[in-house]
Structure 1
């Protein structure tokens, strides 16, 4: 089977981190990348970087707040029209990570995490699917997290948001069987980005951004339905996932951030 070489790509959260890295990857490969984010200056800088490097692909900046569902749907429709009817690849990457310890719970933080990581991500996928299904090909990708596999101390909202995205994408994959459209979920661990730079706790198996992008792009090219990485951390988290609640919760409680 020939390697997946998308020519038209839409990526949310493309102004920094994993989204920016993926946008550059596909621009280097010759794709037209609709790079969506709120920070217009950062998107313009990304587009200039690609143009100055004379890469074979193109960055199309898309100023977008992903929590505006109507604007999100319009942006994807516009990218589809520019691509001739349907996009080859749509990546729901935009996400936020904020501490939400239950002893100091702030409902505003909880809402923001769920709005971006669940509602906006699911809308991204849902808005892209009809055109792909009608064409009988295409790939939708959601960036979840290893945090989806267990409730971690101080991160109730983040873990819940990624667990919801995990289950949503599983259901989407079930429905898409035989349609020609692929639905993939990526579960990264800790990666050096603006988001993790704020963390004040140990981050085992911390990956360099370029290494993480390479792993993600390779998984997408293979059509990996669920990609957990890095392997060491993924194995450890999955082992925790197998522990019964009576053992896990006291153990996890030792790591609470007060």
Structure 2
């Protein structure tokens, strides 16, 4: 009796066999950019509102101290004030603006004579060059008129963001916040709007200043820094916000306002 034959193993075609899947390569993790976090400040919303309320009572109608007669002379004055005092700029520009209060008149005056008028101001040679260049740009591109937008203003020679903000506020009534050395110092010293650059301080202040106080905030902060919260020795004994101030440099500790402020 013959033994049954064992079935032959079926031939498998390699062509028809499913291809083995290669293990998927893990994609390298894309590094996430760190989220930009706003710096926490040691003031409540109520305290910030009270700070600007007191500033508004102390100086109901604050004014800039640079002398000017129109938007053009304001642009020139603010541009000249870089690394110079307002008092020094005013002394130099009174005579200059008396004979050249438009871009056309400034161009007719010429760079050499402009330089003679402002030679008491720091960096006067470069500034005289910029005054003529910005006057030429205004005549050529804007019909002799000062533009109102920040984007256009900063294209003028010698005009940066701070100058543009001052012009927008003082000449055209557009609420802005120009950060000069005083505003920068207050933002960081009081820890109310900390930042490493003027732009950071500006953004920090704009996030916290109540809308009803924004228009005058620029002048309040500048004047407070110039006459009270001074660089070398802040005069805390006569500061209207001394009881609210969280600065570690504060020289007095008072439980209530140092001046009588109506509610």
One fold, TM greater than 0.5? no
TM-score using structure 2 length: 0.27
Of Structure 1 and Structure 2, the greater strand share is in 1
